[in-house]
Amino acid sequence: MCSSFDPGKCPTVSEMLSRLGDKWTVLIIMVLRNGPQRFSDIKRTVVGVSQRMLTLTLRALERDGMVRRTVYATVPPRVEYELTELGRSFSEPIQAFGGWVFENYNQIHAARAEFDARSEAERGNDKLIKIG
Amino acid sequence: MCSSFDPGKCPTVSEMLSRLGDKWTVLIIMVLRNGPQRFSDIKRTVVGVSQRMLTLTLRALERDGMVRRTVYATVPPRVEYELTELGRSFSEPIQAFGGWVFENYNQIHAARAEFDARSEAERGNDKLIKIG
DNA sequence: CTGGATCCGATTCGATACTG
DNA sequence: CAGTATCGAATCGGATCCAG
C-alpha cells in the first residue's frame, strides 16, 4: 500500500500515469466506452494502431482489471473486449483531463507561440551580436 | 482548433497525455505546487532526476505556459521556477487522477494478482500437457 | 549554480512473417 | 480472426564533459 497518491511515493500511480502517456491506451479505452468490441473492430476504429500494440495494450488493461476479455469458441474465433466497472470508472478522470486540455487549448497554444517567438528572437540577436 | 477532446481528434490532448506519461513532469509539477523553487532545489527534491531531464522537462512546461522561469542576475546565477495560474489549474485534473488510482489501488492490484495467477496456471498446464 | 552538447546503452514500437 | 515471434529503426534518458 502507498502512503499517498504522490507519484513519487506510490509506484502504482506513476505506472498508471505512464499508461496514460502511451499512444494507445486512452484511445482504446475511449472506444470501449461505446460498448463491447471485437479485436478487429477496435483495430479498425483506432486508426494507426498495429496488431502488436493493440494486443499489448489490451493485455495490460486486462491485467489491471480495466478490460474484460471474452473468447467465443467459434470458428473463426471471436474475441470481445469490454470495459469493466473499474475501467469505466477509470475513464472518468481521463475524460476530465481531456476536457481540461480542450478548454485551455487556446492558452496553451498562445504560450507556445510566445515562447517560440521569444526563442526565435534570441537566436536572431545572437546572430547580430556575432556578426557585429 | 480541435473538434473535440478526443485524443484521436485533438493532437494537443494526446501531446499533453504523453507529457503526463513521462517520468518527471508530474513529479516536478507537484513539487512546484509548494511554491517557487530553484533549479537545484527541484533537483534535490525530485529524487533520481538527471540534470538533463530536469532542464528538458522544465523547458517543455515553460513553453506550454505551465511554468514561469525567473532569472536573477546574481553570481552565481539564481533561477527560480514557479507554476503559472495555468499550471496550477493543470495540476488539478492530475491530482484527481492520482486520487483515483490511490482509491482504487486495491482493486487494481487484486486484478493483477488474479491475472498473473491465471497466467501462471496456464503456463503450468502447458507444461503438463507437453510433458504428458 | 544553471544548463548546453555529446555519447551511448536501453527501451519502444512498427513491420513482417508465421500459427491455430 | 486473433493472436505470437522476431528484427531493425527510432527515440529516450542517463552519464559525462564543458561553459557562462
pLDDT given for residue A10 in this prediction: 87
| Closest-lying nucleotide for A21 based on CA to C1' | C12
Q: Is the pLDDT of residue B81 over 80?
A: yes
pTM over 0.75: yes
Higher pLDDT, A8 or A109: A109
Residue A74 lies in a domain: yes
CATH code where residue B79 lies = 1.10.10.10
Higher pLDDT, B64 or A8: B64
Q: How many domains does chain B have?
A: 1
Question: CA-to-CA distance for A62 and A44, rounded, in angstroms?
Answer: 20
Q: Which of residues 10-39 of A touch strand D (CB under 7 A)?
A: 38-39
The mean pLDDT of B63-85, rounded to a whole number, is: 97
Q: Is the pLDDT of residue A36 over 90?
A: yes
Chain A residue with the nearest C-alpha to that of B49: A8
pLDDT given for residue A130 in this prediction: 44
Residue B3 lies in a domain: no
Task: Note whether B86 contacts A107, CB cutoff 8 Å.
Answer: yes
Residue A105 lies in a domain: yes
Residue B4 lies in a domain: no
Residue B99 lies in a domain: yes
Q: Which three cell numbers stand for residue B63?
A: 513553453
Q: Which three cell numbers stand for residue A73?
A: 469458441
Residue B50 lies in a domain: yes
A23 touches chain B (CB under 8 A): yes
What's the first-to-final CA gap in chain B, in angstroms?
62
Residue A68 lies in a domain: yes
pLDDT given for residue A87 in this prediction: 98
Task: Note whether A112 contacts B64, CB cutoff 8 Å.
Answer: yes
pLDDT given for residue B121 in this prediction: 83
As a dihedral over the C-alpha atoms of residue A98, residue A101, residue A102, residue A106, rounded to 10 degrees, the angle is: -170
Burial A94-132, CB ≥16 within 10 A → b, else e: bbbbbebbbebbebbeebeeebeeeeeeeeeeeeeeeee
The mean pLDDT of B107-128, rounded to a whole number, is: 83
Domain around A31: 11-130
Residue A4 lies in a domain: no
Read off the pLDDT of residues B7-62 as tens digits, 9 standing for 90 and up: 888 899 999 999 999 999 999 999 999 999 999 999 999 999 999 999 999 999 99
